[in-house]
Chains A and B, each alone.
Chain A
Amino acid sequence: GDSVTQMEGPVTLSEEAFLTINCTYTATGYPSLFWYVQYPGEGLQLLLKATKADDKGSNKGFEATYRKETTSFHLEKGSVQVSDSAVYFCALNGNKLVFGAGTILRVKS
């Protein structure tokens, strides 16, 4: 079945550091890919998405590119802030939304 693998956390960075959270997937067909974010005490929020190969999703300074050849959708941000501290989930949607285990990001001031 479809599955998503994310890098294990927690990832701890200093403010203004560069962020990469790796995500790879296994799926039949051509799923849509997503990053969701869960801030402490809050629900899941859609951060960005890409619906086909080579698409780049972007939002709030975060970016991810749908790489069909490497079945990857890595999340990047050039300069993180303390307010970015949260849990980040990579997900795919073939015919249902399947999540990775999540990666905790901690940003220190």
Chain B
Amino acid sequence: EAGVAQSPRYKIIEKRQSVAFWCNPISGHATLYWYQQILGQGPKLLIQFQNNGVVDDSQLPKDRFSAERLKGVDSTLKIQPAKLEDSAVYLCASSLVLVEGYTFGSGTRLTVV
């Protein structure tokens, strides 16, 4: 089966600019996740979707981050305006069953300068 697709692979922006990341999960996976992985740390959950509804966004900085999953398939994560501390790898993952392991995409490496 095809994996989780993410784009772009890399992005460099200046602080206060905006940026968007795209994710296409594995076909049939109802649950989609966005994680933030800062260098030297483990991934941290930003938001979880079940179909096109938000299940958990408790750690999403809502003043600058937003995410949507239209039609319960693809998802977009946006940062506006970006700060230096947003530099990280943004990982998208999907799963078929809630308590099983997730399949991760290759991630988008964001550098804010």
Chain A contact residues, CB within 8 Å of chain B: 4, 31-32, 34, 36, 42-46, 49, 51, 89, 91, 93-102
Contact = CB atoms under 8 A, between A and B. Distances in A.
Contacts of A45: 104
A42 B42 contact: no
A43 B102 contact: no
Contact of B103 (A34, A42, A46, A51): A46
A98 B45 contact: yes
A49 B45 contact: no
Given A46-B103, A51-B99, A96-B48, A102 B42 contact: yes
Contact of B41 (A43, A91, A98, A101): A101
B101 A46 contact: yes
B45 A96 contact: yes
A40 B104 CA distance: 15
Main secondary structure on A side of the interface with B: strand
A102 B103 contact: no
B43 A32 contact: no
B41 A34 contact: no
A89 B42 contact: yes
Interface in B30-78: 33, 40-45, 48, 56
20 contacts: A34-B101, A36-B104, A43-B106, A43-B107, A44-B43, A44-B93, A46-B101, A49-B101, A51-B99, A89-B42, A91-B42, A94-B99, A95-B98, A96-B33, A96-B48, A97-B102, A99-B44, A101-B42, A102-B41, A102-B42
